[in-house]
Structure 1
């Protein structure tokens, strides 16, 4: 695959797509850039995907080789469920990188956006035998809808898709053992907010554990009460409430995502 060449600029596709698709492109590009802003990116090696509105089951994903803080609405590549390009683009995608995303999109109609990251804290917690614990209020949101998937090596085997989907079930938060974090949501804003909560939970847990002091877990009855109301809890996590502010932040610190 040749090196990514951005020297000539990226032609806008705004006039070539529907208004709904363009809005999805803008929000997805913003998600890539805010992930980079928080330092959660891993060079070019993770992905955030979003379903294009409409009946075609098409998806948007980042061009292979583009840094997250460079992604724009027009640079996103539109593919089918198999990762094949369905709209002309000068950019390619990493087919192996779409395996995890296609598995979720294909089997979860509600998963309009899938975010998979390799954050240091997320991977660290994924290696702990007991995984994420109820040490913070933030962790309760993740624990209310959390699943785990055992490590099977680099995600290149299509046969792993069925096992990953079975492990995910109807949860919105997943810890991939020895690998990283995954969230899915009914919107890009929700998937990002879920990742923010999951990532922050991992950060808090590791900092608390690093003190070496005895730790206080949130009592099981409180956790159980939230788990019984998982759908209500996760829907009220504030994705759509926080998202406009995130866009305003990007317009200050890294504009151009909506081009």
Structure 2
């Protein structure tokens, strides 16, 4: 007797990437974009990069000039778009984005580049051609949690999205990343994972799918750090999700596609409320 196909086999047979994609036709549901030209793809990426910066502002993830988000140019893979130096996330717009190379030279744009952003992000983009986007910011809970030098535990379904899919980087912990060697050490850690906790520094996320996925998983990781610190403050030992169940949850709610999908309501809200993004 043949065994029944599992959920992944069913998704493959129906051409769906996720169980959340509706089987019923004709329903309103986000579709991944397709482009007819590099210019069209570039416009899309720049708009979403700006939206990711605005989302960081809405979630209070700003800290002075610290924090940098990048997305690889669709045509020129050795170049990446990033937010301008010393401009608040809430004030980032298409017109003030900058395009830089892996050496930190600004190719397009009027603003300077963040040195730490160049060191970290350029190294990751250069060493991992499959990574298209990366996010880093100095946040309250992520930075506090990073001081512990620990991994996120699978204490919730949301935290399970990071189970066996993030690392703790302990090298040069707490030292400002302004030297090139620091960037390469961070880049080495991003082999096959979507997030990293840099001890005494903060959170970093990367995506092989989109800037939307990288941005959402950063927001999600910050939230997980907050939740874990809150649970730890009770003094009680949390009940962990079992490894088998954590992997199952990660498979269905921790993918790149799901990160992209989670960002879509954020995008739609910003589209309605912050039209100046496209100035």
TM-score normalized by structure 2? 0.79
- C-alpha distance in 1 between matches for 2:256 and 2:188: 25
Aligned to 1:164: 186
Matches within 5 A, 1:1-259: 18-87=39-108, 89-152=109-172, 153-185=175-207, 186-223=209-246, 225-226=247-248, 234-235=254-255, 238-259=258-279
Distance in 1, Cα, partners of 2:262 & 2:187 = 29
The answer as to whether partners of 1:46 and 1:97 remain within 8 angstroms in 2 is yes
CA distance in 2, matches of 1:233, 1:109: 25
- Note the C-alpha offset of 1:184: 0.7
CA contact (8 A) 2:149 2:168 kept: no
Distance 1:119 1:60, change over 3 A: same
Aligned length: 239
Distance in 2 (CA, whole Å) between partners of 1:221 and 1:110 is: 28
Residue 20 of structure 1: how far off its partner (Å): 1.8
Runs of 4+ off more than 4 Å: none
TM-score when normalising by structure 1: 0.84
Q: Distance in 1 between matches of 2:164 and 2:275?
A: 35
Shift in Å at residue 252 of structure 1? 3.9
Change (3 A) 1:218 1:104: same
What residue in structure 1 maps to residue 35 of structure 2? none
* 1:114 CA displacement: 0.3
Unaligned runs of 5+ in 2: 1-37
Distance 2:89 2:96 in 1: 11
| Superposed displacement of residue 237, structure 1 | 5.4
Secondary structure, aligned partner of 2:54: helix
Question: Take 1:71 and 1:257, find their aligned partners in 2: how far apart are those partners?
Answer: 7
Q: CA deviation at 1:41?
A: 1.5
- Shift in Å, 1:134: 1.6
**Aligned Cα root-mean-square deviation (Å):** 2.1
Q: Using the alignment, how far apart are the partners of 1:98 and 1:146 within structure 2?
A: 22
SS of the residue 1:64 aligns to: coil
What CA distance in whole angstroms lies between the structure 1 residues aligned with 2:264 and 2:61? 20
| Cα distance in 2 between the residues matched to 1:246 and 1:237 | 15
User: C-alpha offsets along residues 80-103 of structure 1, whole Å, 9 cap, x if unaligned?
Assistant: 11110112x321112332110011
Looking at structure 1, the residues matched to 257 and 223 of structure 2 have their Cα atoms a distance apart, in angstroms, of 14
Aligned to 1:8: none
In 2: Cα distance, 1:31 partner to 1:200 partner: 16
Q: Note the C-alpha offset of 1:112.
A: 0.7
